[in-house]
Amino acid sequence: MSMSFLFTFTIIISFGLCILYASAELQRLSHSSKHDGALSFLVLGDWGRRGAYNQSQVSFQMGKVGEKLDIDFVVSTGDNFYDNGLTSDHDNAFQESFTQIYTAKSLQKQWYSVLGNHDYRGDAEAQLSPVLREIDSRWLCLRSFIVDSELVEIFFVDTTPFVEEYFTEPQEHKYDWRGIGPQKPYITNLLKDLELALRESTAKWKIVVGHHAIRSVGHHGDTQELINQLLPILQANNIDFYMNGHDHCLEHISDTESPIQFLTSGAGSKAWRGDIKGMNRRDVNFFYDGQGFMSVKLTQTDATIEFYDVFGNVLHRLTSSKQLHSSM
C-alpha cells in the first residue's frame, strides 16, 4: 500500500517536472502598435565598425527613412561589433560603433538585436548585459526571444549555435559558448520552444529573425543546418518572412515550397565582396552587393518591404497582402 503510494507519488513528480521542462518559454516582450494599428521598423545587419565602410552613410539614410516612416523600432540581425564582438560590457566599441553612430532623432527608438557569429568571438554575454542598457537605453540584445505587437509577432532566434563548423573547425577563432551548454540539447530545446510559440501565435503577421541566412546567394550561401532543422518548422507554421544578416548584402529570395520570403539585410558596413553564387537561380528576386538596409511597414492587410542603398535610393520593393477576416 505505502509502496504503491510512493510509486504513484514518484510518477506524479516526474510527470510534473516533464511538463515544466517542456514548457520552458521564450522570453516575450510586448511592443504596442500605433493607434492606427500600423507598425514600421528598419532592419540592419553586420554593422559595428566605428563608422567605417559606409556605416555612417547607412546610418544617415536610416535616419531619413526612419523619420518618413515614423518607425516604431529597429531590428539588428547580428554581427553587431567587428571584428570580435565586445571585450566586456565596458568596451568603448559599444559607444563608438552604436551610440555615436546612430544619432538621428528617428533612430532613438528601441533596438532589438540578436547575436551573430562575430559577436560570439568576443564576450557574448557582454552584449546581453543590462549594463549596456544603462549606457544606451535603446539597446536590447537577447539570445532568443519574441517581440509581440499583436499585429505582428517577431521571433528572434539565436542561429550561431546551429552551425557545426564553429564547433568542429573554429580555426583561429575562439567562440564564447558560456551560457549555451552542450550544443545538441540547446538547439533541441530552442526549436521545441520556438515551434510551440509559432503554433500558438494568433498574430496577423509572423516574422522570424536570425543572423544566418536560410537561403542566400552571397559569400556564405545557404545555411544547411537551418534548412534541415529550422525551415520545416517555419513552413509548417505559416511564417511570412525570414530575415537575416551574415552575408554582407541585400537579398530577396522566395521559398520554392511555401509562401515564405527570405530577406537578407546584412549590409550595415563592409560590403562589395563581389562573390555571388547562382544569381540565375529562379527563386532569387533581388540581390545587391553594396551597403544598405531594409524597411518594413505592416498593416492588418498589407506588408511593404523596401531595400535602400547608401544614397537612400529604393533598390527593390516587395508587397504582400492578406484578406481581412470577414465575419459575414
Annotated binding site for Fe cation: which residue ranges? 46, 79, 82, 117, 211, 246, 248
Spatial distance between the Cα atoms of 39 and 44, rounded to a whole number of angstroms: 17
Is residue 272 close enough to count as binding ligand NAG by CB under 6 A?
A: yes
Is residue 308 close enough to count as binding ligand NAG by CB under 6 A?
A: no
Q: Which of 263, 252, 293 is nearest to 61 (CA)?
A: 293
- Contact at 8 Å (CB) between 302 and 68? no
Is residue 293 close enough to count as binding ligand NAG by CB under 6 A?
A: no
Is residue 61 close enough to count as binding ligand NAG by CB under 6 A?
A: no
- Minimum CB separation of residue 269 from Zn ion in Å reads 12
**Which residue from 45, 47, 54, 268 is in contact with ligand NAG, where contact means CB under 6 A?**
54
- Minimum CB separation of residue 212 from Zn ion in Å reads 7
The entry of ligand NAG, Zn ion, none that residue 15 binds, CB within 5 to 8 Å by partner kind: none
Helix locations, the chain, DSSP H = 2-22, 55-69, 93-94, 124-128, 130-135, 165-168, 183-200, 224-229, 231-236
- Contact at 8 Å (CB) between 261 and 254? yes
**Annotation marks residue 173 as catalytic:** no
C-alpha cell at 235: 513552413
Binding-site residue numbers are 46, 79, 82, 117, 211, 246, 248
The entry of ligand NAG, Zn ion, none that residue 54 binds, CB within 5 to 8 Å by partner kind: ligand NAG
The entry of ligand NAG, Zn ion, none that residue 201 binds, CB within 5 to 8 Å by partner kind: none
The entry of Zn ion, ligand NAG, none that residue 223 binds, CB within 5 to 8 Å by partner kind: none
The catalytic position among 212, 220, 252, 316 is 220
**Position with the least CB separation from ligand NAG:** 54
Spatial distance between the Cα atoms of 25 and 53, rounded to a whole number of angstroms: 39
- Helix (H) / strand (E) element for 30: namely strand 27-30
Is residue 290 close enough to count as binding ligand NAG by CB under 6 A?
A: yes
C-alpha cell at 28: 516575450
Spatial distance between the Cα atoms of 300 and 40, rounded to a whole number of angstroms: 12
Sites of contact with ligand NAG (CB under 6 A) = 53-54, 271-272, 290-291, 310
Active site residue ranges: 220
